[in-house]
Amino acid sequence: MNRKGICLIHCLILLSLLLTGCWDRQELNQLAIISALGIDQTRDGKIIVYTQEINPRTVGGGGGTESTDEGSGGQKTLLRMETGGTVADALFKLQSKAGRKLFWGQTMLVVFGEEIVRRGIQPQVDFLMRHPQMRLRANVFVSKDPGAVLEIQSPVENSSARTIRNMVELRWRKAMDIRELAMTMVGDAEAAMIPHIQPASKETPYIYESVVIKEGKWAGKLNRVTTEGVLWHRNEMKNGSVSLNLPGSQGGAAGVRIDNSHVDMIPKIEQGEWSMTVRIHVEDDIEVNETVLSMKNPRFTQIIEEAAEKKIHAQAQKMLQRVQHDLKADVLGFAEAFHRKYPREWEQVKDRWDQVFPKVKVKLQVKVDVERVGMTTWPAGLPLDKVKKK
């Protein structure tokens, strides 16, 4: 045999050493698939962890479909709870009592309790970022009772975690996840806004408010209107509607559905004064017309546009009062905008941004354009002689 043949044989032998097979395989029937994780803290400082585990007895074998037969296991998810000195300690105790290995590759939600957020979540975020199996794209929430949220039994999805995630994606363009939370906590403003979730019933979650954290701790809570104002400002409002009470004797109210929105922030430093111009441009469709106005007339659509501009402007002003002056937490992205445009000036104030931010003068400019008036330009069901055309 020539030298080339001998070298080929040696190469094949060496390559065969790399074919180790499925030495690290994990069989599905040996795993406890965790779809959501809850983390809270007791008053005496103990960490509480909750896990929402997919119940394997309710998962059918054909095509991944689910069985709803009560005799096949009942609830779709199982709630487990344990306490410890740290998250890792509590999960170790939980694993020691479980009959299967905890698997975090399908975790979609992490729900922090209000108590632990008030004390600070930096150690918990550190654990989540270090965990080799944890999905950094898992969405983050705050709740008064994480266990009650994880105990919700979804009537449609295989877990309430997926239901909650779908609800957020329908409303927000970009939901907060673990990676983004960690980045905002060390960003220029060191502030973040996290959705607040509560169970409305045993089958339905409720997401409308939000919690603002500053330097890793609870700074305050935002109601639905203020939360939507922040979403508008950050270009994160995906679906929304605005109800309008039109001025004058127009005969009723109107409502518009947001089709698209865009916000531009223009920072400016002049003679030592920091200011920010915020331009909000909204494209919407007329969703409800309870007036006597015919939307065929551009002058009447202009009335709705002006009313929507005033409503959005007022909502943004309330949001600024709450976020900028009450909480003094920059969840709006002002710090990043000034840092990009004025890096030298930013270096001088970055250590005291919480003092500078409330003094930034904000100028709001709102422009609303009605793109579509719906399937009819006339008020449906109203006699034509009562419709105002001019």
How does pLDDT run across 259-268, given as a tens digit for each residue?
888 899 999 9
pTM confidence score: 0.83
Count other C-beta atoms under 10 Å from residue 295's C-beta.
20
Weakest mean pLDDT among 12-16, 20-24, 190-194, 372-376: 20-24
**Closest to 51 measured CA to CA, from 62, 59, 40, 61:** 40
More confident residue, 250 or 331: 331
Task: Give the integer Cα–Cα distance in Å for 61 and 59.
Answer: 7
Least-confidence region, from 64-78, 171-185, 298-312: 64-78
Mean pLDDT (the chain, rounded): 85
Report how far residue 349's alpha carbon sits from residue 345's, in angstroms, rounded to the nearest whole number: 7
User: What Å distances lie between residue 193 and 124, 132, 174, 329, CA to CA?
Assistant: 17, 26, 12, 9
Asked which of 184-198, 282-296, 320-334 is least confident by mean pLDDT, the reply is 282-296
- The beta strands (E) that lie in the chain are given as 31-41, 47-54, 77-84, 101-103, 109-113, 139-143, 191-199, 205-214, 217-222, 241-245, 253-270, 273-289, 361-372
Residue 70 CB burial class (10 angstroms; 0-12, 13-18, ≥19): exposed
The whole-number pLDDT of residue 1 equals 58
Residue 132's pLDDT is what? 87
Distance CA 29, CA 358 (A): 55
CA distance 177 to 108: 9
Torsion angle of the four alpha carbons 93, 97, 103, 108, in this order, in degrees rounded to the nearest 10: -70
Nearest Cα neighbor of 198 from 113, 120, 255, 263 is 113
β-bridge pairing 191-199 and 205-214: antiparallel
Is the separation of the CB atoms in 154 and 160 below 8 Å? yes
111 pLDDT more than 70: yes
- In this structure, the chain runs to a length of 390
Which tops the pLDDT comparison, 379 or 137? Answer: 137
Coil/strand/helix, residue 295: coil
For residue 21, what pLDDT band results from cuts at 50, 70 and 90? low
* Residue ranges of E strands in 235-305: 241-245, 253-270, 273-289
Confidence of residue 67 (pLDDT cuts 50, 70, 90): very low
d(CA 365, CA 280): 6
Gap between the Cα atoms of 136 and 146, Å rounded: 19
Q: How far apart are CA 216 and CA 112, in angstroms?
A: 12
The CA dihedral of 127, 128, 134, 139, to the nearest 10 degrees, is: 170
- Phi-psi group of 202: left, alpha or beta (phi > 0 → left; psi -120 to 50 → alpha; rest → beta): alpha
